[in-house]
């Protein structure tokens, strides 16, 4: 892929241009990203299959069982099942972070050189510094989101317990507002991961810069989310059909009916979830690239503003 003016990152762009250029860059470098990341994508698909399969075979039946027996009887079972489910969920999250690091690694190289190099080995390559940066920023997001969600959950619970509709509506409105106010973190995260200068005051400055362009970030995130959702529904359609069939079979079994499913349905479901998860991983990876160009647009405006301030300072100092 040659460097050209169409894919220069630090350039002012509209929301539509960020989205279109982001997907265009991803498709142009997809083979190189795939060669680098396919082993991790396989594990990502495997973790999704394990999580989905365990939910169908253990969580759903236990939910039904809890409706017809004493909850205290199923308490120990719930602890054991949720512990295992949590381990699978943690594996899935770790694989998602690792897979995302390949997208950020490609963007970081593109930002510095205008190119994305080919992995030297058929079994991919590993960019540990970028992985570490992605992991740190995701911890930020989890911490902030946990605090926000926890506060909203407390308000909502108080509204339910005291039957205060106003409090519940207020909790919902506050949740929406705080979610929107988290959008500027996208710029801060990209600035951290892509290796720009980052000191103790940088997160606040980055957030304020992103806040000034919250409209652009909102449109890019919204449109990208819709595109990703539609593509995910198409890719996951076979898995969704199998998922629904398995749930219906489990419900029927709890009521004394025969399963009605072939003996090989477990392995068939697992393979479908695995393949769907593998493909879906790259669909989700593509969502990073429109935000990459939104970051570049905001960063370009910040550089132009700083340049203007320096020129103004020089002018004032001149005799």
> How many CA within 13 A on the CB side of residue 216?
27
Rounded CA-CA distance 57/231 in Å is 27
Highest mean pLDDT among 1-10, 65-74, 89-98, 299-308: 89-98
pLDDT value at residue 28: 93
pLDDT value at residue 269: 80
pLDDT band at 281 (very low <50, low <70, confident <90, very high): very high
Rounded CA-CA distance 152/234 in Å is 33
Q: What are the backbone angles phi and psi of residue 226, rounded to the nearest 5°?
A: -65, -45
pLDDT value at residue 260: 63
pLDDT tens track for 176-208: 888 888 899 899 999 889 875 556 556 778 888
Does residue 3 register a pLDDT over 60?
Answer: no
Rounded CA-CA distance 28/194 in Å is 20
Measured in Å, how far apart are the chain's first and last C-alpha atoms?
50
pLDDT tens track for 30-57: 999 999 999 999 999 999 999 888 887 7
pLDDT value at residue 152: 82
Rounded CA-CA distance 283/277 in Å is 10
pLDDT tens track for 220-278: 999 999 999 999 999 988 888 877 777 777 666 666 666 666 667 778 888 888 999 99
The whole-number average pLDDT for the span 60-78 is 70
Write down the domain spans for the chain.
Answer: 22-124+210-314
pLDDT value at residue 5: 42
DSSP string, 66-99: HTTS-HHHHHHHHHHHHHHHHHHHHHHHHHHHHH
Are 187 and 295 in contact by the 8 Å Cβ rule? The answer is yes
Alpha-carbon dihedral sign for residues 45, 47, 50, 55: negative
Does residue 1 register a pLDDT over 50?
Answer: no
Q: What is the DSSP letter of 57?
A: I
pLDDT value at residue 115: 86
Mean pLDDT score of the chain, rounded to an integer? 83
pLDDT tens track for 128-180: 888 888 998 888 888 888 888 888 888 777 777 776 777 778 878 888 888 88
Please give the distance of CA 300 from its chain centroid, rounded to a whole number: 25
Q: What is the pTM of this model?
A: 0.84
Burial readout 115-129 (b: 16 or more C-beta within 10 A, e: otherwise)? ebeebeeeebebbee
pLDDT value at residue 69: 65
Alpha-helix residue ranges (DSSP H) falling in the chain: 15-28, 30-54, 60-66, 71-113, 128-161, 165-181, 185-193, 202-212, 214-235, 237-254, 265-286, 288-317
pLDDT value at residue 199: 60
Instruction: Please give the residue that has the higher pLDDT: either 166 or 26.
Output: 26
pLDDT value at residue 38: 94
């Amino acid at each position: 892929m040659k460097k050209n003016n169409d894919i220069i990152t630090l350039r002012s762009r509209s929301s539509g241009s960020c989205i279109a250029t982001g997907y265009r860059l991803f498709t142009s470098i997809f083979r190189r990203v795939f060669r680098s990341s396919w082993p991790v994508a396989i594990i990502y698909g495997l973790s999704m299959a394990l999580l989905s399969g365990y939910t169908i075979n253990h969580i759903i039946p236990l939910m039904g069982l809890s409706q017809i027996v004493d909850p205290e009887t199923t308490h120990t079972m719930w602890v054991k099942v949720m512990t295992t489910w949590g381990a699978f969920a943690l594996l899935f999250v770790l694989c998602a972070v690792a897979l995302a690091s390949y997208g950020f690694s490609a963007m970081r190289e593109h930002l510095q050189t205008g190119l994305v190099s080919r992995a030297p080995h058929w079994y991919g390559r590993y960019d540990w510094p970028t992985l570490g940066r992605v992991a740190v920023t995701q911890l930020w997001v989890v911490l902030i989101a946990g605090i926000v969600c926890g506060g909203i959950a407390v308000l909502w619970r108080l509204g339910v317990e005291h039957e205060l509709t106003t409090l519940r509506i207020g909790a919902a409105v506050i949740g929406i507002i705080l979610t929107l106010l988290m959008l500027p973190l996208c710029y801060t995260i990209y600035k951290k991961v892509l290796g720009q200068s980052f000191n103790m005051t940088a997160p606040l400055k980055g957030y304020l810069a992103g806040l000034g362009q919250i409209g652009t970030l909102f449109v890019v995130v919204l449109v990208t989310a819709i595109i990703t959702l539609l593509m995910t529904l198409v890719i996951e359609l076979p898995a969704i059909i199998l998922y629904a069939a398995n749930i219906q079979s489990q419900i029927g079994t709890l009521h004394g009916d025969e399963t009605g499913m072939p003996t090989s349905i477990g392995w068939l479901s697992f393979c479908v979830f695995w393949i769907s998860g593998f493909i879906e991983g790259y669909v989700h990876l593509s969502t990073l690239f429109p935000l990459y160009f939104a970051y570049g647009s905001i960063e370009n405006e910040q550089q132009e503003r700083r340049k203007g301030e320096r020129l103004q300072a020089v002018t004032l100092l001149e005799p």
